[in-house]
Copies of this chain bind each other. A is one copy, B any other.
Amino acid sequence: MDVKTLCLGVLTLGDASGYEIRKKFEEGPFAAFYDASYGSIYPALAKLLADGYVSVTEYTQSGKPAKKVYQLTEVGRAAFIAELRTPPAPDRIRSEHMVYLFFADYLEPRQLTAVFDAYHAHFESMATFLEGLGCDDLPLGRQFVRGFGRTFYRSLADYMDAHRDDLMGAAAKRGAETEAAE
């Protein structure tokens, strides 16, 4: 599923500019399971416009740059739904953090701690953020996905909490030795 299709999907949730679409990938509902940068979104939107999948309205704002808000056309909506008829591609996960933790033995204790704590903080903040969102009258799919995200971040934050010392204990000892020798 390319960025074009993803943009179509985002636009089913309401009209948006390229900048706003980006934010949905960074902080919004898609943040947990997808991402896209400006360099892919703007060209995608241009292509979508040329193909008639979206239309655009330009707003000039005072004190802010002009804004191009895109709307899904009926053709675009149909194309998105058609895309959903094809089977989903396998998930793709690339966690460099996991690689680092896997090779914890090769890291200096301080760096291990830094990597671990930053990673844990990320899971924890995502968990509390998602837990703060109310379970309002969202469509079922979105409710399910929200709960999925909550479960994901909460379980893993808790796992990391529970096992921090297992990893760190030994590293701290190694660290203490190293520092004593310094």
Show the binding face of A for B, using Cβ within 8 Å. Answer: 1, 6, 9, 12, 29-30, 32-35, 80-81, 84-85, 87-108, 111, 115, 139-145, 147-148, 151-152, 155-156, 159-160, 163, 166-167, 170-171
Contacts and interface: CB of A to CB of B under 8 A. Distances in A.
Contacts of A93: 32-35, 91-94
Main secondary structure of the interface of A (DSSP, over half): helix
One complex includes copies of this chain to the number of: 2
Taking each of A1, A96, A105, which has the highest tally of chain B beta carbons within 10 Å of its own beta carbon? A96
A163 B145 contact: no
A33 B98 contact: yes
Given A143-B166, A148-B156, A88 B97 contact: yes
Contacts of A111: 84-85
Contacts of A32: 93, 98
B143 A115 contact: no
Contacts of A98: 32-34, 91, 145, 148
